[in-house]
Structure 1
Amino acid sequence: MYDYVIIGGGIVGLSTGYALIQKYPQAKIAVIEKENTLAFHQTGHNSGVIHSGIYYKPGSLKAKLSKEGGDLLRAFCNENEIPYEMCGKVIVATEKQELPLLENLYKRGLEHQLNISLIDSSQLAEIEPHAYGLQAIQVMDAGIVQYKRVAEAMAKIIQEKGGTILLRTKVEKIVEGSAGLEIVCNNNTIRSKYLINCAGLHSDRIASLQGLKTNMKIVPFRGEYYELKPEKHHLVKHLIYPVPNPNFPFLGVHFTRMMDGHVHAGPNAVLSFKREGYRKTDFHLRDFAEAVTYPGLWKVASQNLGEGLKEIVRSLSKKVFVQSLQRLIPEITADDLVVSENGVRAQALTRDGKMVDDFFIVNDKRSTHILNAPSPAATASIAIGRSICERIQKPDLL
């Protein structure tokens, strides 16, 4: 019998195990993951950005935990000799109508007490010589790291401190009794006093297995990327972002320099026909049927019809994708880009057609469910793990 079982071996699940084993070193803890390796899905396909929290509403969990989590993440990397770089980013207004939005974003950053500056086009040219903009925000509290290395370090610590990690272990049924839970998996049955659901793309299904009514569903959106050819890496020095549309949940295509030197351009965001559908041709009947018959998806689609159609067109046309990138770096051409690996974002939608725009964590008597943890969850992961620890009872009280 375990004290705590965590479902999901991504960075949120591992950070939760890391936090628990630090707080309760005598507790019996297991992390179970259905894949052959840890950090296989959202963590393994992450862009690697350490987010500042500038975009998020003051008072939201995203705002609080991304700022706190960024500090904890850097400390963790220092302690475990994981390279990272606080390279900073620029958020660029390329049209006059974006200037008021940029000003509002700048005020929000000041409210969050971030290290930011409002800069003009000549100052932008000093930072990013190839970028175009009328005005920009320079954000010094942003950086890059390889989140898979962070996750692997957490897993190592969990195991060194006596925790268990079980791979190739897929949850099929959850039975709750008076003494705890039976978690029936494809290869064995695991008993635990408490369950923590960090299953990401499948978090709503795990909640349903326990009989939890959540009024939401995970709908997968594929983030499609190109990357610059090596001879064009010099066009991007740091991170270059557009001013986001406040009425659309995604940030728009941007340029991200990675720790390995690659420069990614994207993502485009389109509905995926499979929860783990990284390719345009990926299809899973159950995943597709659940998404397209869910009322919340059609309500969200109707509310964002214009932007959604732009995303679809950009997905189908490299020429249109390049035109979006040229707003930020005019000299980019289609020949400068090659197709890169895609990612899938687990986005929670409510039945009444709202995108859950904050981290969404639900507590039950013997379980905690992280039902919405998109970006900046990797940045905030250690803070999320600590927050979960604060929500649950001590092992001797379970």
Structure 2
Amino acid sequence: MTDETVGIVGAGIVGLATGREIALGRPGTRVVVFEKERQVAVHQTGHNSGVVHAGIYYAPGSLKADLCVRGVSLLREYCQERKLPYQEIGKLVMAVREDELGRMEGLYERAKNNHVPDLRKISKDEIKEIEPHAGGIAALHSPRTAITDYPAVARRFAEDIEAAGGQVRLDFAVDSLTEVPGGIEVGSGEERVRVDRLILCAGLQSDAVAKLARDERAPRIVPFRGEYMLLRPERADLVRGLVYPVPDPRYPFLGVHFTPRVDGSVEVGPNAVLALAREGYKLSTFSVKDLAQLAAYPGAWRMAAQHWRTGLKEYRGSFSTKAFMKDAGAYVPGVGAGDVVRGGAGVRAQALDPDGTLVDDFRIHRVGRVTAVRNAPSPAATASMAIAEHIAEAVFAPA
């Protein structure tokens, strides 16, 4: 039994899963989650596509690989116990050109090393049996890949924290972190809350909050907006499960794909364009402060020098539905601009190192009483409960 108070900055799914893990796993520890918005799961969690990834893509031995595979089993069990949506609709990762077959084979070997369940290689004819309207010359079929409702899961995590005696403090924008004897004061305006240990799960604001804790400046967060189309309701039956391209290994993005949602709609997307604000969900949203900080970071210019051509291509889809759907039509032939309407958008908090490298793996480290999550992109929602276990172990490990 302890009488410690653990603070968590950020009420997205990772922060709430971590709060729940500590509140339930360490009786007597009081958990306080600080969130600047007036409800939980507003940003990355609230704009998530809902896919529960099986672990196909991630480098064996990486945190992503280990925590994704563990996280799937924990999440499936949690959703079943709490009667939350969890539908194993399956996924095809599909090659549409001969030059993609080598990459697909490499992906298969990687997935086998990650112990992805029931994954198999299938032929063109077998693709048609699973997805009658799909194109493709070969594919990987992952029947256990699922979809869920991550905001609903996050809300339930918050309820679990409060049921265990913790707090979720909404409308509490953290603007100061001050070391005091034996702990840290978390400040918002004139209010101060003392905690014994602090965990930073601030997503799009992770580097800014880490700066308050005097953590390392790098990596910095670069916001990438992903925009979606929606298949018109009368065309939603064109896909039964998830249809993905073979990803380009140079980028941490998976490309435009077809994603059925638990509400019956089907998303097409996303593209990946540089957002002009950290919370820039619309093309017209920009922040002078965010852009100035980005322009002052050498890593941003190095990234731009490496990837500007790809960036321009991605932007075309922001202005032209026809351009957006051009690539998608290779995977479900016949689908075009007339079959979709503009959908929503999300912003991914992508960490960037000073040399211009897009950070791929989760990056979590501890400095004294502060544990900072500096990079937690997809599959962080899938892996959230396993990430929570990992963080809790790091927080309470002997210094």
2:182 to 162, 179, 204: 179
2:298 to 289, 295, 300: 295
Question: Residue 53 of structure 2 corresponds to which residue in structure 1?
Answer: 51
Contact 2:220 2:352 in 1 (8 A): yes
1:333 is aligned to 2:312? no
**Unaligned residue ranges in structure 1 (runs of 5+):** none
Q: What TM-score, normalized by structure 2, do the two folds share? A: 0.97
Contact 1:91 1:138 in 2 (8 A): yes
1:375 is aligned to 2:378? yes
Question: Residue 71 of structure 2 corresponds to which residue in structure 1?
Answer: 69
Deviation at 1:11, TM superposition (A): 0.2
Alignment of structure 1 residues 116-127 onto 2, 5 Å: 116-127=119-130
Q: Distance in 1 between matches of 2:382 and 2:258?
A: 18
1:204 to 202, 207, 211: 207
1:107 is aligned to 2:123? no
Q: Distance in 1 between matches of 2:218 and 2:50?
A: 31
Deviation at 1:89, TM superposition (A): 0.1
Q: Distance in 1 between matches of 2:86 and 2:26?
A: 29
Q: Secondary structure at the match of 1:304?
A: helix
- Aligned residues with identical type, % of pairs: 45
Question: Residue 194 of structure 2 corresponds to which residue in structure 1?
Answer: 191
Deviation at 1:2, TM superposition (A): 5.8
Question: Residue 21 of structure 2 corresponds to which residue in structure 1?
Answer: 19
Point out the more displaced range, 180-189 or 19-28.
Answer: 180-189
2:366 to 363, 366, 372: 363
AA aligned to 1:274 is A
Question: Residue 393 of structure 1 corresponds to which residue in structure 2?
Answer: 396
Aligned length: 396
Q: Secondary structure at the match of 1:362?
A: strand
Q: Distance in 2 between matches of 1:179 and 1:113?
A: 43
1:153 is aligned to 2:156? yes
Point out the more displaced range, 269-278 or 293-302.
Answer: 293-302
AA aligned to 1:112 is N
Question: Residue 88 of structure 2 corresponds to which residue in structure 1?
Answer: 86
Q: Deviations over 1:175-231 (max 9, x none)?
A: 112221111113621101111000100011111001111421011000011110100
Question: Residue 267 of structure 1 corresponds to which residue in structure 2?
Answer: 270
Deviation at 1:22, TM superposition (A): 1.4
Deviation at 1:19, TM superposition (A): 0.5
1:134 to 134, 137, 156: 137
Deviation at 1:248, TM superposition (A): 1.9
Deviation at 1:4, TM superposition (A): 0.3
AA aligned to 1:159 is E
AA aligned to 2:43 is H
Q: Deviations over 1:348-368 (max 9, x none)?
A: 001111111000001010110
Deviation at 1:113, TM superposition (A): 1.8
Q: After TM superposition, which residue ranges in structure 1, 4 or more long, deviate above 3 angstroms?
A: none
Q: Deviations over 1:117-149 (max 9, x none)?
A: 100111000111111001000012311000011
Point out the more displaced range, 40-49 or 296-305.
Answer: 296-305
1:258 is aligned to 2:261? yes
Question: Residue 313 of structure 2 corresponds to which residue in structure 1?
Answer: 310
Q: Distance in 2 between matches of 1:153 and 1:44?
A: 14
Contact 2:108 2:140 in 1 (8 A): yes
AA aligned to 1:354 is T
Q: Secondary structure at the match of 2:18?
A: helix
Q: Secondary structure at the match of 2:175?
A: strand
Q: Distance in 1 between matches of 2:168 and 2:238?
A: 42
AA aligned to 1:203 is S
Point out the more displaced range, 348-357 or 309-318.
Answer: 309-318
Q: Distance in 2 between matches of 1:233 and 1:179?
A: 57
Q: Distance in 1 between matches of 2:214 and 2:286?
A: 27
AA aligned to 1:90 is L
AA aligned to 2:89 is C
Contact 2:4 2:28 in 1 (8 A): no
Q: Distance in 1 between matches of 2:303 and 2:151?
A: 32
AA aligned to 1:291 is L
AA aligned to 1:329 is V
Contact 1:248 1:304 in 2 (8 A): no
Q: Distance in 1 between matches of 2:304 and 2:69?
A: 31
Contact 1:226 1:265 in 2 (8 A): yes
Point out the more displaced range, 73-82 or 5-14.
Answer: 73-82
Contact 1:2 1:191 in 2 (8 A): no
Question: Residue 32 of structure 1 corresponds to which residue in structure 2?
Answer: 34
Deviation at 1:9, TM superposition (A): 0.4
Deviation at 1:283, TM superposition (A): 0.8
Q: Distance in 1 between matches of 2:218 and 2:43?
A: 24
Q: Distance in 2 between matches of 1:356 and 1:193?
A: 30
1:240 to 239, 243, 249: 243
1:352 to 352, 355, 379: 355
Q: Distance in 1 between matches of 2:319 and 2:4?
A: 49
Q: Deviations over 1:279-327 (max 9, x none)?
A: 0000111111111232111211222233222112222221111111101
